[in-house]
A and B are shown apart, each in its own frame.
Chain A
Amino acid sequence: LAKTTQPISMDSYEGQEVNITCSHNNIATNDYITWYQQFPSQGPRFIIQGYKTKVTNEVASLFIPADRKSSTLSLPRVSLSDTAVYYCLVGAGNNAGNMLTFGGGTRLMVKP
């Protein structure tokens, strides 16, 4: 299973763009990259998933370079409610025996 490394914590201010980078040097060919957001005492919430290049949805963008050894989650114009822990995970998307290995995540603190 590919291991991920991401910053332990980050601080930002309301209205700023936040970029959280995750490294996954031993990502496998079939692995997808998925980001989750988790608030205290709640289950992880799916944010975005990608395989290569750039993926964008209504809440975030995910940038994946050609070698796929890292990825960057971009949150545009964060608000106080974006304060949470963000997890980067890699794994095969077909779930054939796939399990998610969570690291410690990145604790994002958004300040007013």
Chain B
Amino acid sequence: DAGVTQSPTHLIKTRGQQVTLRCSPKSGHDTVSWYQQALGQGPQFIFQYYEEEERQRGNFPDRFSGHQFPNYSSELNVNALLLGDSALYLCASSRTGGLGNTIYFGEGSWLTVV
């Protein structure tokens, strides 16, 4: 059973460019969340998708947008990249409904903005 998979694992972009990161959730999971983790800090919540809609959003500008597809996979898009967007971007998946559903993380996509 594959866990949460993310692509690409590493990428380098130039300031002002746009980037798309992809995530496939763990089998049986229908909810996808995205987190940004700067070097030396804990992950920060960006937003969460369920039933192809953004359900909750953290304190991130509109340059950060996302999408969830009918197969529950998800994309994170960041426009007009800034140097400060350099970070590890983590995707997490879970199953909505009931209590005690564990959230699993992928290995992340390292984004470097130069």
- A contact residues vs B (CB 8 Å cutoff): 30, 32, 34, 36, 41-46, 49, 51, 87, 92-105
Q: Which A residues touch B4, using CB under 8 A?
A: 43
Count of A-B residue pairs with CB < 8 Å:
76
A24 to B99, CA, bound (A): 19
A42 to B99, Cβ gap below 8 A? no
Shortest distance in angstroms between A44's beta carbon and chain B's nearest beta carbon? 5
Shortest distance in angstroms between B22's beta carbon and chain A's nearest beta carbon? 15
B102 to A49, Cβ gap below 8 A? yes
A99 to B42, Cβ gap below 8 A? no
Q: Which B residues touch A49, using CB under 8 A?
A: 100, 102
B92 to A100, Cβ gap below 8 A? yes
A43 to B55, CA, bound (A): 23
Q: Which A residues touch B107, using CB under 8 A?
A: 42-43
A102 to B103, Cβ gap below 8 A? no
Shortest distance in angstroms between B110's beta carbon and chain A's nearest beta carbon? 7
A101 to B106, CA, bound (A): 17
Write 25 A-B pairs (CB below 8 A) sorted by A numbering. A32-B100, A43-B90, A43-B105, A43-B107, A44-B43, A45-B105, A46-B102, A49-B100, A49-B102, A51-B99, A87-B42, A92-B99, A93-B100, A93-B102, A94-B97, A94-B98, A94-B99, A94-B101, A95-B103, A97-B48, A98-B48, A98-B56, A99-B58, A100-B35, A100-B103
Shortest distance in angstroms between A57's beta carbon and chain B's nearest beta carbon? 12
A97 to B94, CA, bound (A): 11
B108 to A95, Cβ gap below 8 A? no
